[in-house]
Amino acid sequence: MIQSTSLEKLIEALRCMPGIGKKSAQRIAYHLLERNRDGARNLAAALTEAMDRIGHCRNCRTFSETEICKVCASAKRDKSLLCVVESPADVHAIEEAGYNGVYFVLMGRLSPLDGIGPEDLGLDLLSTLLDQGVVKDLRIELVNYGPTGQLQRNILNDQSAPLPFGFLRRRIAENERAKVEEYLMGLRSLLEQYTLPTEGKILAFMNQAATSGPDANGLFEMTGQNVVYPGDAFSVWTDLRARPKRIQVTTIFQGDQVDLTATFKTLKSGLTYMAWGEVIVPAKQMTVQVQNFDYNRGN
C-alpha cells in the first residue's frame, strides 16, 4: 500500500511512545484521521504546549512549569522529611496517600548500558541537599502497580535495593547516625543539668523538698518537683553534710519520658563528682550509661 509522506511521519512519530509498535501506531493514526481529527489537533496543541512550558523544579527535579514546583514552594510542607522516588508519576501516587514532606525525583534508574550515570540522576544535587542539614528523615520509595492495578509502595532499606540506592542507603545511614548522635548529646546535656544544677535551682528545690531518713546507710532522701523542667520528679539522697550521693529523676525530653539515675563520689579535697549515670528512654528502648573516673585521681 502506498502511504502519503505525512501519514508515514505520523505513524513513525507515534512509535516514540512506550509500548507502541508499528501496528499500534498505524491503528492510532488511522483512527485519528478517520474519526477524530479535532481530537488529534487538540492532542497536537497540548503536546506542543507541554513540551514548551514544562521543565524541571530546581529543587526536586520533578516536572514543573515554574522554577520551583508547588510542593517545594509550599510553606505547609515539612522540609525535614524527604522522599526519594524514581519518577514524577511516583510523586503523584504518594501524594494520594497523604504524604506531607518534600521529594527528590531521580528521573530514572542508574543504567550504564543505557548511558544513564549518577550525574543523570542528580545524585550530586541530592548530596548537596542532604549536606545542608535541613533533612532529618530520608526515605526511598519505589512505586509500582501490581497485575490487578493495586498500588504497591516499597520503602527500600536493605541490601536488595538496586543502584543508585546503595548511595542513598549510605546517606540514610549517615543521616540516622547523625540523628542518634544529636539525641544522645541532648540526653547528656539533660543529665548534666540535673547533676550540676544552678545554685538558684538547688536552693529552690531544698526550700520546697520533702525530707525523710536517715536510711540504713545514713542518707536522707529529699524529693520535689519542677526542679529543672516543669513537671519533673526529683529525688536526691544526701549525707549529713548535704552532699548528694545519688539522684533519681523522671522528666520529659523531646516528648518522651526519660528516667535519670546518677551516683556521686567525694574527693579528699571535698569536691563531689558524678561517678556513674544512666539515662533510660522507655519509648525508644534506649539506655545510655555515662561514667566519670576523675574521682579516682583523688583517692
124-180: per-residue pLDDT in tens? 788 888 888 788 877 777 655 444 444 444 444 433 444 445 555 555 566 666 667
pLDDT at 299 exceeding the cut of 80: no
- Within the chain, what is the greatest distance between any pair of CA atoms? 111
DSSP class per residue in 44-111? HHHHHHHHHH-EE-TTT--EESSSS-HHHH-TTS-TTEEEEESSHHHHHHHHTTT--SEEEE--S--B
Residue 2 confidence class, pLDDT cut points 50, 70, 90: low
Residue with cell 540523628: 179
Residue 286 confidence class, pLDDT cut points 50, 70, 90: confident
pLDDT at 34 exceeding the cut of 90: yes
Q: Which residue has the higher pLDDT, 299 or 188?
A: 188
Quickly count: other Cβ atoms within 10 Å of residue 133's Cβ: 10
Worst-scoring range by mean pLDDT, 23-32, 42-51, 62-71, 216-225?
A: 216-225
Asked whether the CA dihedral 141, 143, 146, 151 is positive or negative, the reply is positive
If you average pLDDT over residues 254-267, what whole number do you get?
A: 86
Residue 193 confidence class, pLDDT cut points 50, 70, 90: confident
If you average pLDDT over residues 204-222, what whole number do you get?
A: 85
User: CA-CA distance, 35 to 40, in Å (whole number)?
Assistant: 10
The model's pTM: 0.49
Backbone angles phi, psi at 207, to 5 degrees: -70, -25
pLDDT digits (tens, 9 = 90+) for 60-104: 999 999 999 999 999 999 998 888 888 888 888 788 778 899 999
pLDDT at 199 exceeding the cut of 60: yes
Strands 151-155 vs 220-225: parallel, antiparallel or unpaired: unpaired
Beta bridge partners of 82: 102, 138
pLDDT at 44 exceeding the cut of 90: yes
Beta bridge partners of 274: 264
DSSP class per residue in 194-246? HHS--HHHHHHHHHH-EEE---TTSPEEEEEESSSSTT-EEEEEE-TT--EEE
- The full set of domains in the chain, from first to last, is 5-52 (1.10.8.420), 56-180 (3.40.1360.10), 196-298 (no CATH)
98: left (phi over 0), alpha (psi -120 to 50) or beta: left
| Contact yes or no for 267/299 (Cβ under 8 A) | yes
pLDDT at 266 exceeding the cut of 90: no
pLDDT at 226 exceeding the cut of 70: yes
| Contact yes or no for 59/69 (Cβ under 8 A) | yes
